[in-house]
Amino acid sequence: MVFWIVLGLLTVIASLAIILPLSGSRREVAGAREHDIEVYRDQLAEIERDAGRGLIGKEEAAQARAEIGRRILKLDTNDQNGGHVPRDNALVRGLAMAAVVAVPVMSWGLYSAIGSPDMAGQPLAERLAKDPASSTIDELVARAEAHLRANPEDGRGWDVVAPIYLRLDRAGEAATAFRNAIRLLGDSAPRWTGLGEALMAGSGGVVTTDAAAAFERAAALDPADPRPKFFLATAKAQEGDLVAAATDLRALLSTLAAESPWRPVVEQTLAQATAEAERRAASAAPGPSSEDMEAAAELSDAERADMIQVMVERLDERLRENPQDAEGWQRLVRSYLVLDRRADARDALARGVTALGTDTEQARGLTAFAAGLGLGEDQP
């Protein structure tokens, strides 16, 4: 009953908000007529003043009085024909008022037939009992959750709902569902991979220790699945080991078919890891330059040996972490020659050629550089 009282009050208020402005049109028109008559009276008085001062002739004054008189008569005629309101305007106003009254009346009638608030709602149980083909994704998930609450040991149910949770960005529930599926149904690569992805999603995309363990388990169960290998390479990149990440991505890329949907993803990630590794290598502290070697020559033997040894060791260590630095290999070879460690220089040359690729332009440049310093691979 309260619902109908509130609805009626709202309808009356809305209707009055429209009807009252329409009903006030006659008063507005009457006010406009009085204003016009007052203006015409002022004009007649002004004509009399101008005629008295000789500013206009008698004939012109008479014509002006006659024109103003005709306008006043026209206002009186309109007043007698309908209260100063044209017939068509009154008709439009009447139709508008009728529509304002008809709309709520018709709406109430329709609502009382098909939209009564007293009608019984459709409970969740009834919605879940519908044909699954006509259910929404939320209804399907709710149905699965209701089933799993009643049957928590149904491994197949957990296995079905786990990837759905993952797609709906419900990472915590997805991880729980994957763990239950593994516990009840046993190991499988898709379940361990799904668990790793759920743990990643829950940590904002970071491959945690638990996620990495899940991916390693999945990779062991199905070595042909590219997903766990890709995420393990991602974990190395996140830890800062870009060289190892790039190596794993290259190995993964070599196993993917040309039409594999993972190929573009791996290629893009490999390019990003390689570019970042090169950027870090370029910003790292360089090895000893020619100026460093000349400055070292002015020191005592002990001081020079200590200085050069530290720089050479630092450079050698950096090249082991990032072996794609052709200029760094040249500095290392030159440094060993300055120290008169030709065996180490030849070893650095061999390692550099292997790291850069035997048939690459960078490797040939390194070999030519060493030969220019008097070091050749064929020299004892």
What does the DSSP assignment read for 308-333? HHHHHHHHHHHHHH-TT-HHHHHHHH
Q: Cα–Cα distance between 305 and 293 in angstroms, integer? A: 11
Q: By the 8 A CB rule, do 199 and 210 touch?
A: yes
Q: Cα–Cα distance between 66 and 182 in angstroms, integer? A: 105
Which run of H or E residues covers position 123? Answer: none
Q: Which pLDDT belongs to residue 103?
A: 67
Whether CATH 1.25.40.10 fits 137-223? yes
* C-alpha dihedral sign at 355, 356, 357, 363: negative
Q: Which pLDDT belongs to residue 309?
A: 74
Could you please state the CATH topology (level 3) that the domain comprising 290-372 is classified under: 1.25.40
Q: Which pLDDT belongs to residue 358?
A: 80
Q: Cα–Cα distance between 231 and 200 in angstroms, integer? A: 9
Q: What is the pTM of this model?
A: 0.45
Topology alike, domains 137-223 and 290-372: yes
Q: Which pLDDT belongs to residue 222?
A: 95
Q: Which pLDDT belongs to residue 114?
A: 61
- The neighbour count for residue 167, using CB atoms within 10 Å, is 9
From residue 25, give the alpha-carbon distance in Å to each of 22, 29, 85, 93, 131. Answer: 6, 6, 8, 9, 59
Q: Which pLDDT belongs to residue 342?
A: 86
Q: Where are the domains of the chain?
A: 2-111, 137-223, 235-283, 290-372
Q: By the 8 A CB rule, do 224 and 217 touch?
A: no
Q: Cα–Cα distance between 228 and 198 in angstroms, integer? A: 13
Q: Which pLDDT belongs to residue 378?
A: 45
Q: Which pLDDT belongs to residue 105?
A: 67
Instruction: Kindly give the confidence (pLDDT) of every residue in the chain, 380 residues in length, as a single tens digit, with 9 standing for 90 and above.
Output: 565 576 666 666 766 666 666 555 455 445 566 777 777 777 778 878 877 777 777 777 777 777 877 777 776 665 555 444 455 556 666 666 666 666 666 666 666 666 555 555 545 445 444 445 556 778 788 888 888 899 999 999 999 999 999 999 999 999 999 999 999 999 999 999 999 999 999 998 999 999 999 999 999 999 999 999 999 999 988 887 888 888 899 999 999 998 999 999 999 998 888 887 766 655 554 555 555 555 555 656 666 567 667 777 888 888 888 888 888 888 888 888 877 788 888 898 999 889 888 888 788 888 888 887 777 644 43
